[in-house]
Structure 1
Amino acid sequence: MRQRRDKQPKTINKVCSMLLVGCILIGFLWLSISRIGLKLDFTTLFDYRQRLWQGFKMSIIISIGSLVVSLLIGTITAIGQQSKILSIRYLCKVYVQIIRGTPLLVQIYFFYYIIGTAWGVDNRYIAGILILSIFEGAYISEIIRGGVQSIDAKQYEIARAIGLTSYRTLQLVTLPILMARILPALAGQFASIIKDSSLLSVIAIIELTQTIQEISADNFRMFENYIFIGLLYFIMTFAISLLSGITERRVKYAYKAQ
């Protein structure tokens, strides 16, 4: 009973703090708009609701596809960087350094118009998912590699001492610790996938950003359109943040319970 009473004031304080921050941000935005004499009218977007919904769905599809493929690429690359075969290790390291050292926009043009054309990748959506996956995979690889290296060697010594096989060590030691440590970083990277998908509009993929650009050319309501699209991207990334927080707590609880 006492714990419940202690939790209630904390919950109320959190809600009040969030409302206060929200009011401050909304107030600042309203004041800024008022100072430049801008009158916003979002009602015009209702006429384009079908196109917006199609663009929104395509952004989600591209993001989910890129998430799955980039996880696969990142995992393979992280394993490859630990390989005893030097050529594989160097290939993975070079891939990570090149991808992380060049802008995504440059990579989109290079992979689509040069590599994609050379190998007959004509479907823009498949090309977009692959390009985004290659880019994000390099960052995910470093997240996984750093997580693995952060695991204390004593954990493996204890596992061997109690007679655990390599598979059981991976299942009971490596994966629980690894997931608990890399989930926050992975969540941030998954949010980046959603935001970075907007750059695929440069190769005319009809996702959310490309859709809003076409609508802006039609209704000339650029401020309303881009404020609205910013809100949609925020909703998607905030949902990822909430889900990752819930998953992270469950993983930590499961690891402590073992």
Structure 2
Amino acid sequence: MRNPFSVQPDERPRPVQAAFNYLVVCLLIIGFFWVSLMQVGVALDFGFVGQYRARIFDGLLLTLQISAGSLVMSLLIGLPVAVGRGSRILPVRYLCDVYVKLMRGTPLLAQIYLFFYIVGTAWGVENRLVAGIIILSIFSGAYIAEIVRGSLNSLDAGQLEAARAVGFTRRQTLRYVVVPQLVSRTLPALTGQLASMVKDSSLLSVIAVIELTQTMQEISSATFNLFGTYLFLAGAYLVLTLPIMFASRYFERRLDYAHEDR
């Protein structure tokens, strides 16, 4: 009988085998935390979910709105920054380079406080939701810029020369050669970045944006059910991010040109 827990190094597990092993791992993790809770004498109570379901749904919806809005704005920021880092105009190149280094080199929490209480106050951005989307977009835009720049640098120069040799205009080269490959190489990483945005949006609770984390904090204070509310919060974020992670893996396999012959 074949061992259901092992495969050869170059062999992909069968769907049933993969599902079975995922189930075993999940049960082990759940069992570990369950035993840990019993050891410290914590009894979980999720009765608050039904009582506060409307508030939880509103917080969940706002988290999705923040993540979607931030994704669009960060793309509008990251794409020109990626191009600007290769600009011949040195002030533009160095401005984009400093922006990426600053955003990637400093914690998001510090940026939230800095932009909201100093920059936002100075420029009259009083709406906390709008400010949160802008802050998260500026932060994520730096990562998207690096994703796009890496993809641009990975394009084969020989393909661009071949496009010119067969008479393609610059627009045709962009449309038929550059963009298809750029999409295939950036889409998996962009879906992964979206999952990070969903999680990063939780930090906007520090400026009282009533998204999912802030909502659960308020429910925890009202019910004195710290462990139940935060365990539910972790599960809710997992439900939001897992489909994005699976989509990222799907696009990575689907758009991988290097394995098209398989």
Amino acid at match of 2:154: S
Q: Name which of 122, 129, 135 aligns with 2:126.
A: 122
Which of the numbers 182, 188, 191 marks the counterpart of 1:184? 188
Shift in Å at residue 247 of structure 1? Answer: 3.5
Instruction: Specify the code of the residue in structure 2 equivalent to 1:16.
Output: F
CA RMSD of aligned residues (A): 2.0
1:55 aligns with: 59
Aligned with residue 225 of structure 2, among 221, 229, 254? 221
Instruction: Show the counterpart of 1:3.
Output: none
- C-alpha separation between the residues in 2 aligned to 1:22 and 1:233? 16
2:103 to 79, 87, 99: 99
2:150 maps to: 146
Partner AA of 1:120 in structure 2:
G
- Distance in 2, matches of 1:62 and 1:108, equals 14
The whole-number CA distance in structure 2 between the counterparts of 1:110 and 1:249 is: 40
* Unpaired runs of at least 5, structure 1: 1-8
Q: CA deviation at 1:249?
A: 4.1
- Map 1:201-240 → 2, pairs under 5 A: 201-240=205-244
Q: CA deviation at 1:33?
A: 1.3
Structure having the higher helix fraction is 1
Q: How far apart, CA to CA, are the structure 1 residues paired with 2:146 and 2:186?
A: 10
Q: What is the number of equivalent residue pairs in this alignment?
A: 250
User: How many angstroms apart in 1 are the aligned matches of 2:181 and 2:55?
Assistant: 44
Question: Equivalent pairs: percent with the same residue?
Answer: 53
Range 164-173 or range 56-65, more displaced: 164-173
Task: Report the AA paired with residue 224 of structure 1.
Answer: G
Q: TM-score, normalised by structure 2?
A: 0.90
- Please tell me whether residue 155 in structure 1 is matched to residue 159 in structure 2: yes
Q: Which runs of 4+ in 1 moved over 4 A?
A: none
Q: Deviations over 1:11-41 (max 9, x none)?
A: 2111111111111111112111122221111
Whole-Å separation in 2 of the counterparts to 1:159 and 1:29: 57
Q: Which residue of 1 aligns with 2:202?
A: 198
- The worse-fitting range, judged by mean Cα deviation, of 181-190 and 220-229 is 181-190
